[in-house]
Amino acid sequence: MRRRGRDEKFPDNGFEAWGGYMHAKIAKLEEQFSARAGREDIITNIFNGVSIYVNGFTIPSADELKILMTKHGGIYHTYQRSNDYIIASNLPDTKFKNMSLVKVVKPEWITDSISSNRLLDYRDYLLYKNSRTQRQLNFNKVLKNDDSFLSETKSFNCESVSLFPNEIQNTVLAEHNIDGMTMHKNEIESKPIPNDSVPSTSNTILLEKREENNFVGVGVDINQYKQSTVAKTAADPNFISEFYNKSRLHHISQLGASFKQHVNDLRENSNFLFPAREDLKKSILSTFDYNNFSQLKFEKNKVIMHIDMDCFFVSVGLRNRPDLRGKPIAVTHSKGGQARTTRPGVDRNTEFGLYKQKQMKKLGIATGKPEDEIVFETRVDNITDEDDKYGSMSEIASCSYEARAKGIKNGMFMGAALRLCPDLQTIPYDFDGYKEVAYTLYNTIAQYTLDIEAVSCDEMYVDCTELLADMNVNVQSFATMLREEIKHKTGCPCSTGFGGNRLQARLATKKAKPDGQFFLTEDLVEDIIFEIKLSDLPGVGRQTAQKLESLGHVTCGSLQTLTLATLKCQLGIKTGAQLFDQCRGRDPTPLTFHTVRKSVSAEVNYGIRFENENQCIEFLKQLSAEVHSRMQQYKVLGKCITLKLMVRDEEAPIETAKFMGHGFCNVINKSSSLSTATNDIEIITREVISICKKQNINPKEMRGIGIQVTKLELLNSKPSKGSISKFLSNNKVVVKKETEVKSEPISESKILEVAESIKKPTTNESCGSTSPKKSPVAKRRGRPPKSIKTQLSSKNNSMNKFLQSQNVTRDLPYKDPMKKNVSKEVPHNVEQPRPKGLLGLPWDKVRELLRAWLESGQSPLQCDVDMIVDYLQEMVVNKNTEKLFVLMNFLRRMTKEIGRNDWLKVYDHVTEQVQNAMVAVYGKRLFISD
DNA sequence: ATCCTCCCCTAC
DNA sequence: TAAGGTAGGGGAGGAT
C-alpha cells in the first residue's frame, strides 16, 4: 500500500519512466534487506516456541538478541505480543507499574541458554521476583557477578562483530554518551571508559549504574522513593530534578545537544570507511546494474537528504501499544483531559486578553493597520469556548496523523484537543524509548556516512553526494533501503526528503510525510516552490509569517515579487536576504557536521512560587549548581553570566490559568561580564544572586528563572592517542594568538547585491524616509568578506580544541578574494571561525609532525587529515608552492612506504584537496611525480 | 565602524 | 492540575 502512496506523491521526476520496473525492483530490495538483517541460517532449535520482546536497553542489544533468537529457532517481536517473554535489563517505574512482571526476563537467559545449548529455566533469570518491593538490584548483582557477566558479553560481542561490525562499534559509543548525559545529574563521578579498552564490559557496568540511578533519582531504595513527597513548587529542594525529569522540552533539548555531540564524536573517531555501503551496494547491484543511469543523473549535483521520524514520540510509544495504531493518539502528561479542580482566582479571560493585547500591539506597530483588522493567533487562543474553561491545559507533545487530521497540533492544550476530537487517546511519555530509538537512527545513518548535521534527536541533514557516487546507487533506492532498515530496527516509521540544498531537502520531507520519501529534483523546484506557504519555510515562525501576511504575502511565489531591498527593510538585513533566497528555493547555507557549543543555560518557568526571598535565593543556588554541573559536563568555562527573570505582569491574575504556569509575564535579562572565564560554582552563584537582588523584585511575583553562561572557553582537551594533537601537547608547542576572520557563505542575494552595486554604486538601500544606510558592499569594504581559504575544505577537530584551550585563534592573512571563484556552489563544510592549529608553526616543525604522525602506527584520524589539508591549502593560498611540493612528495613517499589502505586513502584525499586549491588559486594543478 | 547588552524569534 | 527548556541567529540602540 505504501507503493500506491508513492505513485500519488511522485510526480515526474525521471523515475516514472521506469514504470513497474522500479516497483518490482524496490520490492526485491526490501525482501533482500529483511533477509540480510533478519533471517540468518538456523543453527539450533533451543528457542522453539519461544517468542521474545525486548524492552529498553539490553546487553546484548535488541538487534543482537534478534539475531540470536532467529539463529536458535526462536521468534523476535518488534512489538509486544501477549505471549512474549519480555527481555529487559531494567524497567523504569512507570513501565513495570502497569505490567505483569511474570515474564520479565534478563537477557542473560538467552545468552546462557545458548552457551549451555539448551533452554534454561527462565525463572532463574526473572528481573523482578515476587513483588515490586523485593526488586532485585541489578547494580549490585552485576558488580558481584562481575566476571561471569562480563565474560559472557565479551564472547557474545566477538561472535556478533562479523554480523554488523559498524553497528556494534557505534552502539558502544552511543552508550558512552548516554552515560555522559545522565551522569551529571546523579553525580556519579565515574567516567566513560577510553576507547581502547574492552568496550562492552565497562559499558555494561556504567549502563547498569545509570539505569539504577535513573530509576529512583539517586539510587535509593524504592520504598523510600514512594514515601517521599512530591515537590510542588520551586521552593521544594527536589523540585528541579523532578521538574526536569518530566519536562518534555528539557528532554528534547538535551537529546538534541547530545546527538550533535554524538556526531562530533563519531567523526573524530572514525576512519571514514563505511563497510555497510558495500553490503547495500551488493544487494542492489545483484538485481540490476543501472550504474550508467544513476551516474548520469547525480554526479554533477549535490544531494542533500533530510530525514525525520514521523510523529516521533507517538511512534515510539506505539511500539508497546499496537492496539492503538491507526487511532488519534496524543503524548501528554494528562490522562483524563479534565482539569481536576477549578482553582480559586483563575481568570483565563483576563490572562488570555493580555496575551492578545501584546500581540496586537506588536502587529499594530509593525503594520500600521487598525486594530480590528488584525487576526490574532496566540497559543491560548485555542481555548475560547465555555466548555474548555475547565479543560486540561496539559500540552500535547506529539500527536498521530489521525489526530492531526482532526486539526490537533503539537503544543495544543489537551482540553482544546478533546474538543476537536473527543475520542483522542493519550499515551504516556517514554523518554528512555526516545533515546534508544534516536541512537538507533543515528547509528544506522552513520554506517553509511558521517556527513551528518544533527538537528535534533529525530531529525538530521545528510550530505549524500559522496555516498551515492561511491555506491553508485540512485536516490530512490537508497531512500527505500534506508527507511526500511530504520523501521526494521526501531519499529518506527520515518520520512526522507532529498534535494540540491537543505531547504529543498526539507521541503521534500514535508511532501514525503508520513512514512514516505520524495526527491525534489532541480527541474521541480521552481514549480513547487511557488505554492509553498511562507510559514512552511524553515526560520519563518508565527511572527514572521504574520508580518509577511500583513504585507500581503502568504506563498513563496507571491513573495518573489518583492525586491531584495524591500525584504531587507521589512525584516532586517539577514532575514530579508534569507527569505529572498528561500522563496526561490535557494539555500546557500552549508551543512555543519561539527558543532561548537556557544552557551550553557538552565531555566525553569514552571512551578516558580516563592513566599520569601530566602526561598528565591535558595533556588538560585540550586539552579546555579545545575548550570555549573552542565558546564563541567561540557568542559567549558564562561565569561558572561545572564540571569533571566519572568515576573508577573501587573495586570495578570495572581493565580495562573495553567496550574503552576508562569502566566502573563514581563521578562528581564541582566548580564554580568567577568574579567576571566570561570566555572566556579561560588562565582556563578554569587553573580546570579547579586544580579537578582539588584532588580528589586518581590519574590512572590516571580514566575520564571533562568541562568545562562556565554562567551565560553574550553576547559581543556585530552588529545586522543596517536593523534597529532597528542604529539603537539607532548612537545609543548606554543602557538601565538591571532585575530579571527569570519567566513560567510555566499548567497544568491549576495551575488545580486554585488551585481547591483556594480550597476549603480551609489544606491541608497534604505526604505521609507529614514536615515540613509550604507550599501552592504560599502560596508564590507573595510574587511574582506571571504578568503579563498574559507571556500576550501576545512573542518574543526580535536587538534583545534586543544589549541582553542590554549587561547589560540585563527591565523589567516588576508589574500585577494578570488572573484572568479565566487559561485553559488558553496562547500558543504565551511564553518564558524575557529582556531587553526598548524598555521602558526614553522614549516620544518610541520614536517617533523607529519613524520611522527605517519610513523605512529595508528589509523589516521579524520580530524588530523583535515588539519593537514588546511595547512597545505593555506600554503597554496600563500603561494608557497616550493615547500608544498616538498611536503606533498614527502607524504606520498611515506604513505606508499606504509602501504596500508587507510593511509593511501589519506594521500589520495589530501592530494585531491590540495589540487582543488591549486586550481582555484592558479587555475592549474600542482605537478606531483607519480 | 564595531562591540556590547538586551531583547525577540525560531526550532526541536 | 502539570512539569511553559535550551541553543542559536539576529536586530535595535547605546557605548566605545
Q: How many domains does chain A have?
A: 4
Amino acid, single-letter form, for residue A553: H
* Per-residue model confidence as pLDDT tens digits over A71-123: 888 888 776 666 788 898 876 544 554 455 567 889 999 999 998 888 888 88
pLDDT of residue A184: 33
Domain boundary, last residue among A691, A714, A737: A714
pLDDT of residue A903: 78
Judge whether A167 counts as a catalytic residue. no
CATH code of the domain containing A629? 3.30.1490.100
Q: Which residue has the higher pLDDT, A819 or A772?
A: A772
Residues A663 and A731 in one domain: no
Contact A705, A645 (CB under 8 A): yes
Residues A822 and A917 in one domain: yes
pLDDT of residue A154: 27
CATH code of the domain containing A207? 3.40.50.10190
Residue A834 (CA) to nucleotide B4 (C1'), in angstroms, measures 21
pLDDT of residue A41: 66
pLDDT of residue A121: 86
CATH code of the domain containing A419? 3.40.1170.60
Nucleotide nearest to A546 (CA to C1'): B9
Would you say residue A509 lies in a domain? no
Q: Which residue is nearest to nucleotide B11 (CA to C1')?
A: A539
Closest CA to A466 of A477, A480, A479, A450: A450
In strand C, the nucleotides that come within 7 Å of a protein beta carbon are: 1-12
Q: Which residue has the higher pLDDT, A482 or A132?
A: A482
- The C-alpha cell that represents A790 in the structure block: 574559507
* Per-residue model confidence as pLDDT tens digits over A377-413: 334 444 444 445 568 999 999 999 999 999 999 999 9
pLDDT of residue A835: 34
Q: Which of A351, A459, A603, A874 is catalytic?
A: A459
Nucleic strand C under 7 Å from the C-beta of A118: no
Nucleic strand C under 7 Å from the C-beta of A840: no
* Per-residue model confidence as pLDDT tens digits over A19-61: 223 333 334 443 444 444 444 467 888 888 788 888 877 888 8
Of residues 206 to 265 in chain A, which lie within 7 A of strand C by their beta carbon?
230-232, 242-244, 246-250, 252-254, 256-257
Nucleotide nearest to A459 (CA to C1'): B12
Mean pLDDT, chain A, rounded, equals 72
Residues A850 and A876 in one domain: yes
- The C-alpha cell that represents A604 in the structure block: 525553569
Question: What mean pLDDT do residues A690-702 have?
Answer: 97
Nucleic strand C under 7 Å from the C-beta of A426: no
Nucleic strand C under 7 Å from the C-beta of A379: yes
Q: Is A252 helix (H, G, I), strand (E, B) or coil?
A: helix
Q: Is A501 helix (H, G, I), strand (E, B) or coil?
A: coil
Would you say residue A548 lies in a domain? no
Q: Is A344 helix (H, G, I), strand (E, B) or coil?
A: coil
Residue owning grid cell 496586537: A360
Residues A741 and A675 in one domain: no
- Supply the DSSP string of A595-642, one letter for each residue: ----EEEEEE-SS---SSHHHHHHHHHHHHHHHHHHHHHHTEEEEEEE
Contact A600, A631 (CB under 8 A): yes
Residues A79 and A172 in one domain: yes
pLDDT of residue A693: 96
Question: What mean pLDDT do residues A726-745 have?
Answer: 37
Nucleic strand C under 7 Å from the C-beta of A327: no
Contact A11, A42 (CB under 8 A): no
Residues A146 and A185 in one domain: yes
The domain in which residue A613 lies consists of 599-714
Would you say residue A291 lies in a domain? no
Residues A903 and A816 in one domain: yes
Q: Which residue has the higher pLDDT, A798 or A456?
A: A456
Would you say residue A112 lies in a domain? yes
* A386-390, A587-591, A919-923: the lowest-pLDDT one: A386-390
Would you say residue A53 lies in a domain? yes
Instruction: Indicate the pLDDT class of residue A348, thresholds 50, 70 and 90.
Output: confident
Domain boundary, last residue among A197, A218, A246: A246
Would you say residue A289 lies in a domain? no
Residues A730 and A682 in one domain: no
Instruction: Indicate the pLDDT class of residue A838, thresholds 50, 70 and 90.
Output: low
- The residue ranges of DSSP E strands in A339-451, in sequence order, are 398-399, 425-427
Alpha helices in A491-563 (DSSP H): 502-512, 522-531, 542-550, 556-559
Name the percent of chain A lying above pLDDT 90. Answer: 43
Quote the distance between the C-alpha of residue A315 and its chain's center. Answer: 18
Nucleic strand C under 7 Å from the C-beta of A333: yes
pLDDT of residue A930: 58
Instruction: Indicate the pLDDT class of residue A868, thresholds 50, 70 and 90.
Output: confident
Nucleotide nearest to A571 (CA to C1'): C11
Residues A685 and A794 in one domain: no
- Supply the DSSP string of A84-112, one letter for each residue: PEEE-S---HHHHHTS--TTEE-THHHHH
* Per-residue model confidence as pLDDT tens digits over A147-171: 222 223 322 222 222 222 333 333 3
Residues A74 and A177 in one domain: yes
Q: Which residue is nearest to nucleotide C5 (CA to C1')?
A: A250
Q: Which residue has the higher pLDDT, A923 or A438?
A: A438
Domain boundary, last residue among A181, A214, A246: A246
* Per-residue model confidence as pLDDT tens digits over A636-677: 999 999 999 999 999 999 999 999 999 999 999 999 999 999
Residues A705 and A742 in one domain: no
Residues A123 and A196 in one domain: yes
CATH code of the domain containing A890? 1.20.58.1280
Instruction: Indicate the pLDDT class of residue A70, thresholds 50, 70 and 90.
Output: confident
Nucleotide nearest to A337 (CA to C1'): C1
Instruction: Indicate the pLDDT class of residue A498, thresholds 50, 70 and 90.
Output: very high
* Per-residue model confidence as pLDDT tens digits over A115-151: 888 888 888 888 876 533 333 323 222 322 322 222 2
Within chain A, what is the greatest distance between any pair of CA atoms? 87
Question: What mean pLDDT do residues A708-714 have?
Answer: 96
Would you say residue A368 lies in a domain? yes
Would you say residue A796 lies in a domain? yes
Burial class (CB in 10 A: 0-12, 13-18, 19+), A456: middle
- Tell whether the model's pLDDT for residue A685 goes beyond 80: yes
